[in-house]
Structure 1
């Protein structure tokens, strides 16, 4: 007697099929709103905690300028994760702050920039600045591939070291769809080598007999963070400090076109971010440009700028706390060596190209 073939297992009905069979009504608009309310409330504890830590880091920087608020914020986040002291109830809010509040901080950064400040530099000096940014960015991308550093981390390092440090890393990270470990590594490298530059700039300026203007421009065109530029140029003279800040702001203005250009390239290459195509111009970049325009036309008085600066640091600091809590130290250590080398070479390129260009401009002038 031939045995009958085994029957194929019955296919389980899907949830919509079950709902249809049971004639379950579709959720009403009110029910959808009530369902979304707990999700919105779930971000509050973590978001408030991140803002509180960021505020403490900002107060620390005010009392001790040598301690950058953004670095302190991300370090505290990393330490909290490594020590397993992050409550589960904080997780949604910390993740939300690391993405959303980060963009708000970048937009606020634009309120501190005026196109008039950039025009205070001469054409030759602007050419050196643009050449330094372009060379540092492209050379870092090339070197990152040779060192086999991850593509995303290389892009973040290239952006942060060529433009404006942690704020530039933060601005590029959504477009690059960067992992939190990569963001943390790039921010740490910005702080490490920017701190080294604080010592190098005044020492070389004195040894080489640079004028105050040349030394200030050099600091503004090569040192990463605004606070680091202030520290490096301020150690030379007050005159060097004033021109250094202008040069640094001119670099920051280049943040929007750079991020937009990367977004265009990634979109044409079919890159996807969080399941969606990369936008040609990210919305927060548009907000950044609008903020610069608002500042340029004088809608933001000078007396308000310090408060805007504080709000910007608070927002970016909260984002750094959120990103830091998403970092796994073991994975970060595995990729650290090559990234450290990449950051060192990128800093050397920025400082060498900018100083060489400024000396050439001075000799021709």
Structure 2
């Protein structure tokens, strides 16, 4: 491979997301005290300094990516400023005492809601579109997510979470795919739906879409479903667990394996106390660990099946289809798991987790801005909706059974 061909090989959104994520990770390791955070209030000089640094960093990343990828770079700054302002508003709403104490919802939920409100009322003007790059932001956030998935900590807390994750992911993915296909959902949408329900929600949907080179409109629909369904589950499942008399360990494992966003998992687990929260996080992170393996397996499956059933899973085809940002996720996890002391990894991980939340918040604002109810919630998406809900119902029942079998005998 010539030098130019090699450079062209790396000129993709996936590789740029990996590069941006790893640069942020290195900066967090080298100078953690200097890294900015998304402010929760605007009444201090430090908060405004963080805002300026975050916007400047985001602008450099997006502008450089557009230049490298040959995308229009004009008008990125004003577009990015508005998107960031909406994300900041979502953060402010989520951190307000009334909302925080009564709902426990994290900023990403309000980011989507505000984006949807703008998109479906006043609409999104053309000048706001240059920085609407939701998948790019999510991919960077997923690379940073790897810094919080520390294998040693998960194994120390218990391998039962991994066992549950393996059983549930395998069974629920196959059931979700089967039921969606039975309902007449196309193979592409069925694959994304099955991954979102069974693995880890939005992250799995993005990784799967990359592996199968899926339609971004279908991906936006799946992400919207994940976030909308997670909200009532976050509220009702803790009280349902109490009503059934589940132990905190079983309840935590149940919620961690069924609720599709990490923030919602933590919020629901905390309702039942520290023990339930601990086990819910263990199981959710165990599912996150499987993200790389799942993406690889889906790449093999899709390369073999293809859209025309003719493509064979050669090494080249597998490499082409495998979402490269998942490699960044795995690499970050390996570095923080095995190349750093645990305490250092956790302290630096707290910094990268905040930045991960910033990228996710901006991405979900973009998803909301790009989503029109009249385009998404119409008759053509009725079957995927039922497929998702049926698969999630199966997930809830199966995960409860597996969690009970594995964790009922444990007393924390």
TM-score by length of 2: 0.71
Secondary structure of 2:377's aligned partner: helix
Partner of 1:339: 384
Structure 2, unmatched stretches of 5+, are: 1-66, 309-315
Q: Deviations over 1:8-55 (max 9, x none)?
A: xxxxxxxxxxxxxxxxxxxxxxxxxx9999933343433343333223
Secondary structure of 2:246's aligned partner: coil
Following the alignment from structure 1 to structure 2, what is the Cα–Cα distance between the partners of residues 35 and 361? 49
Following the alignment from structure 1 to structure 2, what is the Cα–Cα distance between the partners of residues 277 and 330? 37
1:185 to 221, 224, 232: 221
2:86 aligned with 1:53, yes or no? yes
1:18-29 alignment, distance < 5 Å: none
1:60-71 alignment, distance < 5 Å: 60-63=93-96, 64-65=99-100, 66-71=104-109
Q: 1:47 to 1:179 in 2, by over 3 A?
A: farther
2:372 aligned with 1:328, yes or no? yes
Q: Deviations over 1:78-98 (max 9, x none)?
A: 33333354232222321xx22
1:143 to 158, 179, 203: 179
Q: Deviations over 1:238-297 (max 9, x none)?
A: 11111211111111111111122212332334559xxx9672432211100011112213
Partner of 2:247: 211
Q: Deviations over 1:93-113 (max 9, x none)?
A: 21xx22322211110111111
2:349 aligned with 1:305, yes or no? yes
Following the alignment from structure 2 to structure 1, what is the Cα–Cα distance between the partners of residues 144 and 366? 18
1:26-105 alignment, distance < 5 Å: 39-63=72-96, 64-65=99-100, 66-94=104-132, 97-105=133-141
Q: 1:84 to 1:153 in 2, by over 3 A?
A: farther
Q: What is the aligned length? A: 327
Partner of 1:284: 325
2:400 aligned with 1:355, yes or no? yes
Following the alignment from structure 2 to structure 1, what is the Cα–Cα distance between the partners of residues 158 and 362? 37
Q: Is the 8 A contact 2:254 2:280 kept in 1?
A: yes
Secondary structure of 1:92's aligned partner: coil
Following the alignment from structure 2 to structure 1, what is the Cα–Cα distance between the partners of residues 253 and 324? 32
Following the alignment from structure 2 to structure 1, what is the Cα–Cα distance between the partners of residues 91 and 214? 25
Deviates more, 1:38-47 or 1:85-94: 38-47
Query: 1:362: how far off?
Result: 5.4
Q: Is the 8 A contact 2:195 2:204 kept in 1?
A: yes
Deviates more, 1:66-75 or 1:289-298: 66-75
Deviates more, 1:34-43 or 1:141-150: 34-43
Q: Is the 8 A contact 1:78 1:327 kept in 2?
A: yes
Q: 1:343 to 1:289 in 2, by over 3 A?
A: same
Q: Is the 8 A contact 1:73 1:318 kept in 2?
A: yes
Following the alignment from structure 2 to structure 1, what is the Cα–Cα distance between the partners of residues 88 and 222? 22
Q: Deviations over 1:302-327 (max 9, x none)?
A: 23333322211211222223333333
Q: Whose radius of gyration is greater, 1 or 2?
A: 1
Q: Is the 8 A contact 1:220 1:248 kept in 2?
A: yes
Partner of 2:188: 152
1:161-176 alignment, distance < 5 Å: 161-176=197-212
Secondary structure of 2:200's aligned partner: coil
Q: 1:324 to 1:363 in 2, by over 3 A?
A: closer
2:335 aligned with 1:294, yes or no? yes
Query: 1:206: how far off?
Result: 2.2
Partner of 2:262: 226
Secondary structure of 1:168's aligned partner: helix
Q: Is the 8 A contact 1:165 1:187 kept in 2?
A: yes
Secondary structure of 2:156's aligned partner: coil
